[in-house]
Every structure is written in structure tokens, then in C-alpha cells.
């Protein structure tokens, strides 16, 4: 069994590779560990083979505690774990048979046992007929099969395959994964570390996703894909835009214009709402009733709903009213009041011009 419990790993240069990783892989399981480059996958592999130790947390591999294991015990741990590397790591000047047999000789196995076991695993992975060939005489797929045979020859409890399909074409990759599935069906735990989504999606296996040194998903099924932040941001922008349009429609229905990014108590120069036209008689009467010397803007009234085609904003009205009168209104009241009396001011101006014309005659 493989178990990581709240594992952290910080390298000497300060890089935090793992940040509280926890996972349990039971005996006989087939598990994919996926994630982008730099997510922490390689660090996990190195811990499972006791190349490095965790900064904190616990790493258990087939009853060996990687954090406290003694140096002389590490070879015994590694005999329980077979590793398949992406770049094969075969000895170029040794034949296929010798590459696999070398691993058994390293642990002191008898020659008779070596011969029987090597032939068995080469046949299992389908390269027994290439036993006398050198690695340079094999295809990439065949070299990877030899690497799997070498990982299997000491009958480990678990196989860890590090990007085993990285150098293979799709057809050979699928064949290799089916071979690993066959090995798993014989009782060996198989852990495949990869970022090949198309391979993962073809097998209904447990998938542990690592990103940023943390486990972000652990479930059975296809390759886990982190939500696209760009798409989420675009959706949020569209929702905000739709909300703004709804606010604009509501403001038009109420006859109020929403100022754009203005400070409290101020309004833009072009802030103006269309005002309801009055009949000439009503406007004339309104102007005549206004007390002399006082501002015509004596009450604040919200403008009516905007027409379909709002007119161009009028020129700003000179602010020549006495200070004491301006202090009686807040800025928004002044704006709406000025909008309300614009037609009256225009009528008053026309009336004065007509009076001057009659005097000239």
C-alpha cells in the first residue's frame, strides 16, 4: 500500500514542490496521477522510491516509512517498487536479455531463477523474440516494453510508470497501457504518472489530479481539467454587462440617468435629461408668476421618462444665482431643477428679443 499523509516538500532553493498532499493507493489498484509540468508529480515519484524525503508529513510505501527509513533499508524498499521511465534508461551495450537479467543479479538471485524469470517477463511483454538484440535495434515501443519487463522482473508489489507513453505514437501508447492493465489484473499495483489526456480518457480508472503541489481532484473517470479562468472571467463580464443594461432600462423607466463613475455630489457636464414640453400659454404664465430677482429654479422635480430618441444635451446654464440660494439645494436638486426650467428660460429670452425688436421699430 502507498500512503501520503499531509506531505510537504520544500527544496533547498526554497521551491515548495508539495503543499499538504494526501492520498492512499490500495494494493492491486490502477491509478493515474495527472497534472501539468511543475505540478509536483516528479517529486512524488522520487519520494515513492526514497530518492528524497518529505520536509514534513508521512510517506509510507509497502510498510516502509520514507521519512525515517535508514540508508541500508532503501534497496529493500526499491525491490518492492518497479519504475518505468519515459526515456527507458536501458544499457546500450547490453542485449535485451542482459538488461533485464542485470536487475536480478543486483539482488543476488540464482542463475537458474534469473533465466526462468527473465524469459517469463520478456514473453509477458511481447519481446522474447528480441532477447538477443541491442536497444538500438529496437523501436521506441519495444524499448519501453523492455523497460516494463525490467521493472517487473523482481516481482514488485507496485509498478510506477513515469510518462511511459511520452515517446510513443498513439497506437503504441494504447498497446502499452493495455499491457499495464494486464499486469494490474495479475495483482500488481500500477501507478501511471502522465499528462496524456487522450490515454487517461480511454480507461475508466481512478484519476488523482495534482496542481500547484496540491491534490485538486481524486475520482474515477476521465482526465480532470481545471475550470478555465478566462472563460469564467468572460462569463462574469457578460453577466455584469447584462446587469448594467437592466439598470439602464429601469433608470429610463423612472426617468433617471445613471452618472458614470462620478464622485458623490458632482455630475458630468453633459448630464441632462429631456424635459416635458409645456404649452406656450402655460410657460408664459409660469414665467410671469415667478417673483422678480429670484431664481426660477424653486423646486426639484424628477424629469419624465426619456423618449426613444433623446435630444442633444443643452449648453450648460451659467451659474450666476446668488450663493445663498445655491446653498439651499443639494447638487442633484440643482441639476434636475435646471433641466426643468430650460424651456422657460428659452421662452423668456425669445420674449425679450421680441420686445427689443418692437422698440427698435
CATH of the domain at 209: 3.40.50.300
Query: Does residue 287 carry a pLDDT above 50?
Result: no
Please check whether residue 207 lies inside any domain of the structure. Answer: yes
The CA R_g of the chain, rounded to the nearest whole Å, is 41
* Pair (7, 102) in one structural domain: yes
* Pair (218, 316) in one structural domain: no
Kindly provide the b/e burial profile for residues 53-63, where b requires at least 16 CB atoms within 10 angstroms of the residue's own CB: ebeebebbbbe
Task: Give me the pLDDT at residue 120, please.
Answer: 95
Q: Which helix (H) or strand (E) holds 288?
A: helix 280-289
Looking at per-residue pLDDT, the higher value among 132 and 277 belongs to 132
Please check whether residue 248 lies inside any domain of the structure. Answer: no
Across the range 88-93, mean pLDDT stands at 91
* Pair (86, 133) in one structural domain: yes
Please check whether residue 112 lies inside any domain of the structure. Answer: yes
pLDDT one-digit tens code per residue, 314-330: 555 444 444 444 444 44
* Pair (189, 325) in one structural domain: no
pLDDT one-digit tens code per residue, 92-130: 999 999 999 999 998 899 999 999 999 999 999 999 999
Determine the structural domain holding residue 89 and report its residue range.
Answer: 2-230
* Pair (30, 124) in one structural domain: yes
Query: How far is Cα 56 from Cα 59, in angstroms, rounded to an integer?
Result: 9
How much is the mean pLDDT over the chain? 77
Q: What is the count of structural domains for the chain?
A: 2
Look at the alpha carbons of 125, 128, 129, 135 in this order and tell me if their dihedral is positive or negative.
Answer: positive
Please check whether residue 48 lies inside any domain of the structure. Answer: yes
* Pair (269, 218) in one structural domain: no
Please check whether residue 226 lies inside any domain of the structure. Answer: yes
Out of 212, 230, 248, a domain closes at: 230
Across the range 278-283, mean pLDDT stands at 48
Task: Give me the pLDDT at residue 266, please.
Answer: 41
Please check whether residue 190 lies inside any domain of the structure. Answer: yes
* Pair (33, 153) in one structural domain: yes
- Least confident range from 81-85, 101-105, 195-199, 259-263: namely 259-263
In the chain, pLDDT over 70 holds for what percent of residues?
Answer: 63
- Range with top average pLDDT, 160-164, 195-199, 354-358: 160-164
Please check whether residue 264 lies inside any domain of the structure. Answer: yes
Across the range 183-209, mean pLDDT stands at 91
Nearby residues of 294 by Cβ (< 8 Å), 6 or more positions away = 325
- Least confident range from 56-70, 121-135, 210-224: namely 210-224
- Whose CA is closest to 276, among 307, 309, 314? 307
* Pair (91, 223) in one structural domain: yes
* Pair (26, 145) in one structural domain: yes
Query: Does residue 209 carry a pLDDT above 90?
Result: yes
* Pair (120, 166) in one structural domain: yes
pLDDT one-digit tens code per residue, 250-264: 667 666 565 554 443
Look at the alpha carbons of 329, 338, 348, 318 in this order and tell me if their dihedral is positive or negative.
Answer: positive
Query: Does residue 270 carry a pLDDT above 80?
Result: no
* Pair (65, 163) in one structural domain: yes
* Pair (262, 223) in one structural domain: no
Please check whether residue 330 lies inside any domain of the structure. Answer: yes
Residue 24 φ/ψ, nearest 5 degrees: -130, 125
Across the range 152-181, mean pLDDT stands at 90
Out of 211, 230, 249, a domain closes at: 230
Angle at CA 57, nearest 5°, toward 51 and 60?
60
Amino acid at each position: 500500500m502507498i500512503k501520503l499523509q499531509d506531505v510537504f516538500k520544500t527544496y533547498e532553493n526554497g521551491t515548495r514542490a508539495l503543499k499538504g498532499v494526501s492520498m492512499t493507493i490500495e494494493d492491486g489498484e490502477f491509478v493515474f496521477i495527472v497534472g501539468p509540468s511543475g505540478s509536483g508529480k516528479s517529486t512524488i515519484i522520487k519520494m515513492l522510491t526514497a530518492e528524497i524525503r518529505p520536509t514534513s508529513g508521512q510517506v509510507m510505501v509497502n510498510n516502509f516509512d520514507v521519512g525515517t527509513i535508514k540508508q541500508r533499508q532503501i534497496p529493500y524498499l526499491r525491490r518492492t517498487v518497479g519504475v518505468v521511465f519515459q526515456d527507458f534508461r536501458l544499457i546500450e551495450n547490453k542485449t535485451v536479455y542482459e538488461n533485464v537479467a542485470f536487475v536480478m543479479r543486483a539482488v543476488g538471485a540464482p542463475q537458474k531463477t534469473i533465466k526462468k524469470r527473465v524469459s517469463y517477463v520478456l514473453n509477458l511483454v511481447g519481446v522474447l523474440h528480441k532477447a538477443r538484440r541491442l536497444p538500438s535495434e529496437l523501436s521506441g515501443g519495444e524499448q519501453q516494453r523492455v523497460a516494463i519487463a525490467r521493472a517487473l522482473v523482481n516481482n514488485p508489489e507496485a509498478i510506477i510508470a513515469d510518462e511511459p507513453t511520452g515517446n510513443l505514437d498513439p497506437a503504441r501508447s494504447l498497446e502499452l497501457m493495455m499491457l499495464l492493465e494486464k499486469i494490474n489484473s495479475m495483482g500488481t499495483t500500477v501507478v501511471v504518472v502522465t499528462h496524456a489526456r487522450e490515454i487517461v480518457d480511454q480507461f475508466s480508472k481512478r484519476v488523482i489530479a495534482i496542481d500547484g503541489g496540491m491534490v485538486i481532484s481524486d475520482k474515477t473517470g476521465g482526465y480532470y481539467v481545471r475550470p478555465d479562468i478566462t472563460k469564467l472571467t468572460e462569463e462574469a463580464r457578460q453577466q455584469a454587462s447584462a446587469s448594467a443594461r437592466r439598470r439602464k432600462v429601469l433608470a429610463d423607466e423612472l426617468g433617471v440617468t445613471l452618472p458614470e463613475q462620478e464622485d458623490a455630489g458632482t455630475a458630468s457636464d453633459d448630464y441632462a435629461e429631456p424635459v416635458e414640453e409645456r404649452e406656450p400659454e402655460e410657460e408664459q404664465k409660469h414665467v410671469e408668476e415667478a417673483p422678480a430677482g429670484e431664481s426660477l429654479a424653486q423646486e426639484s422635480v424628477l424629469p419624465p421618462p426619456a423618449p426613444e430618441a433623446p435630444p442633444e444635451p443643452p449648453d450648460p446654464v451659467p451659474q450666476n444665482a446668488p450663493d445663498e440660494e445655491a446653498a439651499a439645494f443639494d447638487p442633484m436638486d440643482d441639476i434636475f431643477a435646471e433641466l426643468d426650467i430650460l424651456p422657460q428660460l428659452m421662452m423668456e429670452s425669445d420674449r425679450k428679443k421680441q420686445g427689443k425688436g418692437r422698440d427698435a421699430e
